[in-house]
Every structure is written in C-alpha cells, then in structure tokens.
Amino acid sequence: MVNLKNKVVFITGASTGLGLELAKQLVKQGANTILTARNEEKLEKARVTTGISDSYLLDVRSEREIAEVVTKVIEKYGKIDYLINNAGFGIFKEVAEMEMDEVEELMDVNYFGVVRCTKAVLPYMLERNEGHIINIASVAGKIASAKAAAYSASKSAVIGFSNGLRAELKNSNVYVSVINPGPIDTPFFERADPTGNYVKNVNWFMLDPQKVAYQTIKIMKDKKTEINLPLLANIGIKLFYLFPETFDRVIGKHLNKK
C-alpha cells in the first residue's frame, strides 16, 4: 500500500463535511494537503482547524479560478499526486417544482466541476505518468429516488465520466476511483433538506464522515476502482439492477421519504 507522507493531495469542497474530515486525516498521515472551497469564512475556519496553510478560494464553476489555483500548487510542489473531487451539493425537490437554474447549478457544480478540475490536473499527471483521481459520487448516482432526480443525474454523470476516463487511462499509471456513499452526517443536508424530514427518516442509515474519509484514504492507498458505502448498499445496487420492479416495490418506499 502507498505511503501518503509528503504526497500532494488537492481537495475541492474541503471547508466542511467529508472534505474537511479527509483533510484532518490526511494531515495526520503526513500528506501535503491543499484545501480549496468557495466560502472564504468556512475555508478560513477549516484552515485553522486543520493547521493547513495551503488553502485557496476556489469555485469549481470557474475554469479560470481552477487553472490559477492548480498553477500555484504546481509551482510550489511541482506535482499533484491526488485530486479528490469532493465539491458538491444537493437539492431535494420534485422535478415539477424545481427551477431550471437549480438543475443547471447541480450539474455545473457536481458534474462539470469534476470535469473542469480533472482537465486542469490531468495533463500534469500524464506528464509524470503518475497520479490518482478520486471522485466523490453517491449511491444516488446508481439508485435514483423521488425528489432527487436532478441530484441523482449529476452523480450518475460523475460515475459515467469516471468509468470512461479510467478506460482511457488504462495504459498509464494514472488511476481513477469512485466513492459512492449513502447519506453522510454532514452539513450537506442544510441546503438539500431544510425541513429535516429526510434526515429524520434515514437517521438510522446515516454514515459517519470519519469512516467515509477512512475508506476514501484506503482507496487512495490500494487504488481500488470503486466502493459503495455502506457495504449494505452493494446488495441494494445489485438487487436494483437485477430486479428493478421488485426493488421499487419492497425497498423503494424507504428511499422515497424526502
């Protein structure tokens, strides 16, 4: 397994939630961790909390900002060993109630943000013939549910993009991995579910961000292609694809409680 000491790890959406937890654990393992986020106040708090000096304001919707920050990191370290595309958000609404700008923002951040950051970092990885891109998608990208059609589509796009990119890079030493977690106990739901109804209904199923971060770092070390969390999700995904009608009748009702 790979030793992460002195490796350069670039994390998007690192000011709160899973991104922040990843940063905390990576620092303990001696990695040169780069924090990026678009909220200045939250990013500053994350910098203080982790003790990480390398922090940059970054909106993954801006190709210019991404290029500028990536250039600064390359100038300082000469490389980026790991890119963790973690920035993302959710909006849980029925399609009929969503505004088009909400749908477009979901795709712009959750999917195109991944593409923009990947395209900015990938040339440097290919030049060294070394690197690892880890995309944080979601179980929702494999199993869609009510009030999450647009969110699920954005995460499904991330999974498809990752699989295609991996095929393109199969003859290189640049790896692509996807993390598909279920609901994580983070501030994600403050915007996605302001009523608190969904959180209340799936509280028993909520993942600990520390454990998700641990599993993500484990994949960084062993270069596994994909992981679905919790492990129970693997069974659900297989049932969904093999027996979609039965799954929807028996299990789907538990997912559609947003």
CB 217 within 8 A of CB 24: no
Q: If you compute the radius of gyration of the chain from its CA atoms, what whole number of angstroms results?
A: 18
Catalytic positions are 151
CB 150 within 8 A of CB 89: no
Strand order across the 174-181 sheet: 55-57, 32-37, 8-11, 82-85, 131-136, 174-181, 226-229
Cβ contacts of 177 within 8 Å, gap of 6 or more: 132, 133, 134, 135, 162, 219, 220, 223, 224, 225, 226, 227
Number of helices and strands in the chain (H, E): 12, 7
Rounded to whole angstroms, the Cα distance separating 13 from 243 reads: 36
**159 secondary structure, DSSP code:** H
Tell me how far CA of residue 136 lies from CA of 91, 110, 127, 177, 254, in angstroms.
17, 9, 24, 9, 24
CB 256 within 8 A of CB 149: no
- Token pair listed for 237: 């995904």
